[in-house]
Amino acid sequence: MLAYLLGSIPTGYLVARAKGIDIRSVGSGNIGATNALRVLGKPAGILVFAVDALKGFLAVVLIVNWYPELCDLAPRWFGPNGHGDHQLRESLGIVAGVFAVLGHNYTCWLKFKGGKGIATSAGVLTALVPWALLIIFSLFIVLSAVTRFISVGSLVASFSLPFATWFTTRNWTLTAATGAMGVLAIYRHKANIQRLLKGTEPRFDQKKSEAAK
């Protein structure tokens, strides 16, 4: 619940509101970092991305660091006398990360309409599988730069995530969890996929006035 509430903080909406803009009514209408970058400019876009990523990172790190306290509070669930199981600790971190992403994608503060979860997922992956994140981030940068579509980089990175996780960890639990995150991210990009097929997807270097059409 706490991970969901942390993830549900609508950073892009709040930053845009501070500038007198309802980000849901401009650009793609999404509250995530990509639309914030396109509509509000680079400083605001970078800020939104950083805070959204921090939400995911903190959700995992806090649950892992609080694990001994959880053992003391509920030893039947988490282990006796604060000495917990590594696998259970890892599973709790994964669950916290997934719920943080769900909180971002379906925030309760905006009628369960949020972002696409890319930045928050990046924060979760930083805590769980940093080397896999490095691989898919490299793919994201290269493809976004070549195609000028952030959505293309995001889609390819999301698809590649479980493969990169298995390659770097050989851990089936983490691979399954990151696979689920990748599928959710691709699903949240369904509108982008439709626009890409129609040739109407805006490029990230497109002017604000054009992107808002």
pLDDT of residue 65: 83
Please check the confidence at residue 71 and state whether its pLDDT lies above 90: no
DSSP string, 127-191: HH-HHHHHHHHHHHHHHHHHHS-HHHHHHHHHHHHHHHHHHHH--HHHHHHHHHHHHHHHHHTHH
Q: What percent of the chain has pLDDT over 90?
A: 77
| pLDDT interval class at 86 (50, 70, 90) | confident
User: Which one has a higher pLDDT value, 202 or 118?
Assistant: 118
User: Which one has a higher pLDDT value, 66 or 85?
Assistant: 66
User: Which one has a higher pLDDT value, 146 or 75?
Assistant: 146
- Which of 60-64, 75-79, 160-164 is predicted with the least confidence, judged by mean pLDDT? 75-79
Q: Give the separation between CA 36 and CA 26, rounded to whole angstroms.
A: 10
pLDDT of residue 28: 84
Question: What DSSP character marks residue 23?
Answer: G
Mean per-residue pLDDT of the chain: 90
Q: Give the separation between CA 39 and CA 13, rounded to whole angstroms.
A: 12
Question: What DSSP character marks residue 98?
Answer: H
CB 174 within 8 A of CB 141: no
The angle at the Cα of 194, spanning 190 to 196, to the nearest 5 degrees, equals 110
Q: For residue 132, which amino acid is it? A: A
Token pair 């876009």 is found at 45
Please check the confidence at residue 128 and state whether its pLDDT lies above 60: yes
Q: Give the separation between CA 15 and CA 19, rounded to whole angstroms.
A: 7
User: Two tokens at 80?
Assistant: 């006796």
pLDDT of residue 209: 44
| pLDDT interval class at 12 (50, 70, 90) | very high
Read off the pLDDT of residues 175-194 as tens digits, 9 standing for 90 and up. Answer: 999 999 999 999 999 999 99
Q: Note down the domain range covering 129.
A: 2-211
pLDDT of residue 203: 85
CB 139 within 8 A of CB 72: no
Residue 213, Cβ density class (10 Å: 0-12 exposed, 13-18 middle, ≥19 buried): exposed
Q: Looking at the 3D structure of the chain, how many domains does it have?
A: 1
Q: Give the separation between CA 67 and CA 52, rounded to whole angstroms.
A: 24
Average pLDDT, integer, range 97-101: 96
CA distances from residue 93 to 123, 139, 147, 177, 208 in whole angstroms, order as listed = 12, 25, 35, 11, 38
| pLDDT interval class at 103 (50, 70, 90) | very high
User: Which one has a higher pLDDT value, 191 or 74?
Assistant: 191
pLDDT of residue 74: 65
